[in-house]
């Protein structure tokens, strides 16, 4: 996830750089040993049309960012003290029972880049929820229109395009690995109606993890197959897909790789600059980078992401990238690059971490994975003051946060930076930066 201060005063724009991954039918290994990867099976380099402009937001984006964000009601009411994680899980979701497609709670939460205060979240096999008050209260399921029931009945997650390609109501992409909603889905009206698009040839596996969206082109998507060696790309909003070639060293049978766009500051080079991380396997496969849409790959570290999810953080487009994980030769935990992921340095503690995100004052790292209902995973929260190059401090989390997050989304009410974390079977948690 990248958090960038807009050129409009008081606006904090959240841009997603996240891959939340639903776990397999059975979890692999223990907390520190799980598998992961994409594919080496056919497919070639990808020659795509390049957007005509480089980082110019749409008029709709400019109008929304120029106006003041709406008031945060819990600030006025004094019910959301800064610096405290608050459980905001909707009362009408089930985080305990084994549902028809397995219940791993929630693994994805997304901020609407054009509507400060609006968040979307998916709950396994239970559909999509929406918040309009900075994540404090939620309404759902909202997938009540065409094919909504099928789309929502899946173990999976959702993705919203970042601000460069955002619309209102938002396009929402969804992908599921089990249940009636297995496969790739798209909504063009904020999660009400849904359309299913087949990935690959008819009859091929449709279990994929939520797509990553090009920061400058909402129709340009990357998606990794669930515990199969497949990485695919779409340039038409998911209607058709093309296999991506990977290096032989990335071929990790039975795992799921995490794929990300690296924002270089221009649409042309961002389009083909990607970072790929293997699922944790002991450092065998590691982290890889391409600058030409998979035409060539280079291993840049041994870091690998925990089973189920990963999230990187780009604070700007100067080359700084944070990632988290284990098995790097530099140390477990948080790694930072100053050259778009080419070289890395270790920061903070040496425990396993899943994601890194940033708010206005601090950078945060946390740990969680798809362990299942009734299980516990210490969130492993550590914090450093922006820009994250100084001292990192381990910080306690509430007892009720029994599982760490798969994903976090951020926004601002004009005064406070706010994060909402999707913590698997521990539900949704909200944090306001002090």
Return the residue matching tokens 């197959």: 225
Sequence-separated contacts (24+) of 169-172 with Cβ below 8 Å: 170/112, 170/114, 170/120, 171/218, 171/237, 172/110, 172/120, 172/128
Q: Model's pTM, two decimal places?
A: 0.86
The C-alpha atoms of residue 336 and residue 329 are separated, in whole angstroms, by 13
The C-alpha atoms of residue 365 and residue 356 are separated, in whole angstroms, by 4
What pLDDT score was predicted for residue 17?
Answer: 62
Are 279 and 37 a contacting pair, CB within 8 Å?
Answer: yes
Task: State residue 85 phi and psi, 5-degree precision.
Answer: -75, 130
What pLDDT score was predicted for residue 1?
Answer: 36
Q: b/e map of 388-413 (b: 16 or more CB within 10 Å)?
A: beeebeeeebeeebbbbbbbbbbbbb
The C-alpha atoms of residue 304 and residue 34 are separated, in whole angstroms, by 10
What pLDDT score was predicted for residue 254?
Answer: 80
pLDDT in tens, the chain (434 residues): 333 333 222 334 333 366 655 444 333 333 222 223 323 333 333 333 333 334 334 434 433 555 688 989 999 899 999 999 999 999 999 999 877 778 899 999 999 999 999 999 999 999 999 999 999 999 999 999 999 999 999 999 999 999 877 889 999 999 999 888 999 999 999 999 999 999 987 778 888 999 999 999 999 999 998 888 789 999 999 999 999 999 999 998 888 899 999 999 999 999 999 999 999 999 999 999 999 999 999 999 999 999 989 999 999 999 999 999 999 999 999 999 999 999 999 999 999 999 999 999 999 999 999 999 899 999 999 999 999 999 999 999 999 999 999 999 999 999 999 999 999 999 999 999 99
The C-alpha atoms of residue 430 and residue 256 are separated, in whole angstroms, by 28
Radius of gyration of the chain (CA): 19
For residue 384, the enclosing domain spans 2-49+57-432
| Alpha helix positions (H), 281-404 | none
What pLDDT score was predicted for residue 200?
Answer: 82
- Kindly give the pairing relationship between strand 407-412 and strand 18-20: unpaired
The C-alpha atoms of residue 396 and residue 68 are separated, in whole angstroms, by 33
- Is residue 305 classed as helix, strand or coil in its secondary structure? strand
* Number of independent structural domains in the chain: 1
| CATH number reported for the structural domain that contains residue 249 in this entry | 2.130.10.10
What count of other Cβ atoms lies within 10 Å of the Cβ of residue 188?
A: 15
């Amino acid at each position: 996830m990248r958090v960038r201060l807009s050129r409009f005063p008081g606006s904090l724009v959240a841009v997603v750089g996240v891959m939340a991954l639903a776990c397999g039918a059975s979890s692999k290994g223990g907390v520190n040993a799980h598998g992961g990867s994409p594919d080496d099976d056919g497919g070639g380099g990808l020659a795509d049309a390049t957007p005509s402009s480089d980082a110019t937001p749409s008029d709709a984006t400019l109008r929304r960012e120029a106006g003041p964000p709406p008031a945060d009601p819990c600030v006025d009411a004094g019910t959301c003290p800064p610096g405290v994680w608050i459980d905001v899980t909707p009362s009408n979701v089930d985080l305990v029972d084994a549902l028809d497609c397995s219940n791993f709670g929630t693994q994805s939460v997304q901020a609407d880049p054009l509507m400060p205060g609006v968040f979307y979240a998916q709950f396994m096999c239970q559909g999509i929820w929406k918040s309009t008050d900075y994540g404090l209260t939620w309404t759902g399921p909202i997938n009540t229109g065409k094919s909504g029931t099928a789309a929502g009945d899946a173990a999976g997650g959702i993705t919203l395009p970042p601000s460069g390609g955002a619309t209102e109501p938002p396009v929402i992409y969804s992908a599921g690995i089990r249940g009636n909603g297995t496969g790739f889905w798209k909504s063009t009206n904020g999660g009400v109606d849904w359309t299913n698009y087949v990935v690959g040839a008819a009859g091929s596996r449709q279990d994929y993890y939520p797509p990553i969206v090009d920061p400058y082109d909402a129709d340009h998507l990357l998606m990794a197959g669930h515990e199969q060696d497949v990485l695919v790309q779409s340039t038409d909003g998911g209607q058709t897909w093309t296999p991506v070639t990977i290096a032989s060293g990335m071929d990790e049978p039975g795992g799921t790789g995490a794929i990300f766009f690296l924002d270089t500051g221009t649409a042309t080079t961002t389009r083909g600059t990607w970072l790929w991380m293997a699922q944790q396997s002991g450092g065998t496969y590691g982290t890889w980078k391409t600058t030409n849409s998979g035409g060539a790959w280079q291993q840049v570290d041994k870091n690998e992401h925990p089973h189920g999810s990963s999230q990187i953080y780009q604070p700007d487009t100067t080359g700084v990238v944070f990632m988290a994980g284990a098995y790097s030769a530099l140390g477990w935990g948080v790694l930072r690059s100053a050259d778009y992921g080419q070289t890395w340095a270790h920061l903070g503690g040496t425990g396993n971490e899943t994601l890194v995100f940033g708010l206005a004052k601090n950078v945060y790292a946390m740990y969680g994975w798809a362990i299942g209902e009734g299980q516990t995973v210490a969130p492993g929260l550590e914090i450093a003051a922006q820009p994250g190059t100084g001292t990192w401090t381990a910080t306690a989390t509430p007892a009720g946060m029994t599982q760490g997050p798969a994903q976090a989304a951020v926004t601002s009410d004009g005064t406070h930076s706010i994060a909402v974390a999707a913590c698997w079977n521990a539900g949704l948690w909200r944090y306001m930066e002090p």
